[in-house]
A and B are shown apart, each in its own frame.
Chain A
């Protein structure tokens, strides 16, 4: 049996609004949904960034009275939740995945277009619900991890809204994951082998496997937690005989893979961007594929390294230390392959390339501190200090968000048919890079010297370093301005890019920019080698 996936039949062009209004409609076009994910995620990034600035203002002086203590906890919780569940996960999976994967597998849409629309439209309402919970009496204030018993004993209305919102976002994530797996495995054109797919497809396949296997566990855990709050059961409440460590196990069974759900797609995207701007084939394609799958397998069995201080028995600590340290092997393979891709290439210094190189630098730093944190004695020393905060932000901001910006610079001509202004882009990169490192590098020092995280007041000896950090945060906030100006100016009157401004070989560039509704006029081009840059060179000579 066959199903028609002709988008013109499912999408009915004549009924759809034209121009930018269609981004506000229930469109089934994967490109429209991708942009919807991106813009929606970016709006939440601005909200989460504002909250982060508020935190840094509070921390600029040791005894600041910028906000009351419970508001500080609420801001902290909202910042973490928004940045993870509403900015990074939806954008790096949903936005770029939706936009690129159908091109890469040679299809006219995702495997299940309606499911795709459902997955996106779960996000704005649940995100608004989460933000609105701040104005309810007592917003969630137990951190983005919502550890019981704190999440049970603090004011409950906000925490329940928080749980419902995260459940909906998890559902959105699972629907997206099912769609990506089906698209990549089943919707490939005949003759396109798995080992010919661009790296981003592999990254999304690995990510989607992680999403499908681990997100439901978080959903189940949060359902139990909501029972604890609403129905006064005792799953995680020690007073009623429950066990908080069970919550931590179940929570981290999702939330450790969540780190890979955030960073694996970024690995895929950087593997697409580097070869184009270095004019070289991706080094070690096969090892890249196997390292992604290695990360997926190892990522599922290392969650307890978040719990070394939770009374974990020594044999468990040993296992999780070794397994965690092993993840450095596939990650290291990827890092060396990226460097080898750059090595001897004809590198063009533009914003996309700069952000990708910034990603590599930041990610190495974050990865090395990660290996350090996997070692039990060191982890016990710096657990719940700013060292962990710095490590985490080096992975998630210095890694993933840099790649999100890099991808925006890389694919903007594809989406709009206009080039972004390179000068503003480079300015954006310089401010972001300096601001980011100024903000988070000193936090390693803070953590090693014992400043705990999630505090509003601290010892005066940390004041100077905290002020440097806050200055960096200010720069990061400022860096959004040239970016936004760039986007608006370039969309309005940017230089026309042509179909393939980077002379890239991956399939999305072989159609017009912006692409037509069905991705290709006529037949889709078949790309045998998405990274055949070297060959093209030798033939031109």
Chain B
């Protein structure tokens, strides 16, 4: 049992009952005030892009405590041995990568303050001076080399589930204050990949400690240090006073989880926590009507769609696939099922991501046109089943049921829903052979790289890990995009690919999911579109 449990005895409760000076001592005082976050530095652009201006520096307020409650805790603190968002949020407070992203998804400097592409297509990062790990040691180029190699090469410690996340890395070389990464072939999105992935660990610390220790302790360079780790329950942090960008304003951070969404909302309304994730639409008004908190939502980098396999009837018919796009009233689903928390989509790439084509309009809701196209496809009278995961995406089952009802209401198609446990559906969706994959299913896809290719290639290219389509023209465009060194030209190719994907209609294009947070009125915090939570940017109201 941790002896410093006193820190998280609920202050309100203790004060309420005990009401003595002693109780205040027991609960632990807030202690010395943090300096408040300094403004971010202006960032130099790399990769031939224009230099990005840094955000204006904000004055930090007084020190304060902040609680974040998510649906699920981390799966261990090793920043390179996981592949899911909750763990990323928890380890990402303590660890950082070479590059980072701003709230809108733009690339900004991280541990590297300059980055460029060399003549041979490799990428070179110049490390920021004066960065130290939480144990006080300096960050070195060797640490960076080791970290990247630990992710991509299986023989460096672990088989990391992130091994594909940095592209096909050939070698990493460490120089004096700089690190060069070379790839097998040209990697046009190297910087996008490094801005989302590739957290840096200290080589000696990792080599000296076993996996069990690394998963329970942290030694990164990030804005917060882990002070207490209770597996599956909560993680406590203190600000890293030596942080290169200035210590955050938050004086004590607590991250915890409640799997029940109603419990999370109740915690927020009882003022036991400050930020809660995934507030269900039916709880939104309860939060907004309270005096103590409100809803803060942001379009996320996750797209929801109904995918149809190109090689099985009736989905092999492009007309039939287009018919289903006309049959589903996405606007009404967003309005009625999601309480407005969604943006309608018309292509696999989301607005704001590289390769988004602004000229593509969503398929209009038109049941008559849908029926006509079904007749034309020669599949009138067909019976189809939509498989949906249960509880994986915001109101997934309700969305699937609404869409299936609308399809079913066509005079010449009947459609029913089959609810699947997510893990079991994933097993089928990722089956090595396309013949083993579901014919028609709901799926969501998060694109943390903000680049169209990171959705198009895995989901719609012939060799994609989860593909439902095989189309030479689309494959050709994606191959061209991969080899194109001119960023503008590449955007043009991806836009063309998106137009083609819209016309081929391998998906019923649904919506962009929103991240819906409940936020205490005591703080001011703007959520990010990549689902990461950054309490170091929160300030006291």
A binds B: no
Chain A residues with CB under 8 Å of chain B are none
Chain B residues with CB under 8 Å of chain A are none
